Amino acid sequence: METSELLKKIRRLEIKTKGLTKHIFSGEYHSAFKGRGMAFSEVRDYTIGDEVRTIDWNVTARYSSPYVKVFEEERELTVMLIIDVSGSSAFGSEDRSKKDVALEVAAVLAFSAIANNDKVGALFISDKVERYITPEKGKQHALVILRELIEFKPTSQATNLTEGLKFFRNTQKKRTISFVISDFIDENNFMDALRLTRKRHDLIAIKITDDAEKELPNAGFMRLFNAETGETSWVNSGSEEVRNHFEAIFNEREKTITTNFKRSGIDCVSLTTHSDFIPPLVQLFKRRS
């Protein structure tokens, strides 16, 4: 992508997602993700209704008048965007690919974090760690992440979320708000890695699918290409039995993933390339408030 075209795309993305951040997500983000605790801020005069346990007895004795301690939430957080960049992320049956949706979601989350003075970092993974961007504050850092994601070409097309999550746990010793953005098409047992990660971090799964992954069109013989393995296969989509089997496999996989997330206590929001991602993301934030 030419530099001028890249800058234009980043600018359009910034304008679109910063508007959403300001008008939709600012309050939801702040209430959905809590700080690390309460920190002492100041003392003030005691007023009727204040709890006795908040009285600062040293200051009260010094001035012969009751004073109470005021605490504020420690707000600074670290947000990590763990983004699946494997071959299947490039799939999209209409105007947008799964990577396009992931890019917009990442932008909204990054600008929401920056607006709340939080740090934001990113980890791009396939079946290995492709790119690690350390968490930092500021608009320019958020733009760096988005630029990297737009331009990035993975060295592997396969998926193994376990490897990326292991690296993440080893590098992020302090608790973070971690978003795993993926279609979760992974033949490996990634749920164990997610459970381990959740023990230390606030983990949210953002699952992106495309409607064409669920239903085959009635179009006779079709050639299907697996972007992660490079394999090609032919199917007779004119057969109702074949179409039903294709849909059943998709539904069973989705049911299993959803059940495992629920049992593991992992928040998950499902998005598609064919619909607006804003309403489900807002609902996720509200559920956590």
**How high is the pLDDT of residue 241?**
92
Q: Which residue has the tokens 């199917």?
A: 235
Q: Residue 67's pLDDT is what?
A: 85
DSSP state of 216: -
* Residue 228 confidence (pLDDT): 87
**CATH number where 96 lies:** 3.40.50.410
Domain end position, chosen among 45, 74, 103: 74
Residues 48 and 174 in one domain: no
Residues 6+ apart with CB under 8 A from 206: 102, 105, 179, 180, 181, 182, 268, 269, 271
Token code pair at residue 191: 């749920």
Burial tier of 177 (Cβ tally within 10 Å: 0-12, 13-18, 19+): buried
Tell whether 142 and 166 lie within a shared domain: yes
In 117-215, where do the E strands start and end? Answer: 119-125, 129-136, 177-182, 202-209
**Cβ contacts of residue 34 below 8 Å, gap of 6+?**
73
The reported pLDDT for the residue numbered 249 is 93
Strand (E) or helix (H) holding 106: helix 98-115
**Domain shared by 167 and 154, yes or no:** yes
Same domain (yes/no): 263, 182: yes
**Residue 63 is which amino acid?**
Y
Tell me which of 23, 45, 74 is where a domain ends: 74
In this structure, the answer to whether residues 232 and 91 fall within a common structural domain is: yes
Distances (CA, A) of 184 to 129, 197, 208, 257: 16, 16, 8, 8
The values of phi and psi at residue 121, to 5°, are -135, 175
pLDDT at 41: 56
Q: Which domain holds residue 49?
A: 37-74
- What global pTM score does this model have? 0.81
**Which amino acid is it at 253?**
R
Q: Are residues 67 and 79 in the same domain?
A: no
**pLDDT beneath 50: ranges in the chain:** 39
* Of 53, 33, 26, the residue nearest 115 (C-alpha): 26
Please indicate, yes or no, whether residues 81 and 69 belong to a single structural domain of this protein: no
pLDDT tens digits for range 88-138: 999 998 888 999 999 999 998 998 888 888 899 999 999 999 999 999 999
Give CA–CA dist 254/185, Å, rounded. Answer: 10
Q: Are residues 68 and 85 in the same domain?
A: no
Helix (H) or strand (E) holding 37: strand 37-45
Question: How many folded domains does the chain comprise?
Answer: 2
- Give yes or no for a contact between 122 and 106, defined as CB atoms under 8 angstroms apart: yes
160 and 93 assigned to the same domain: yes
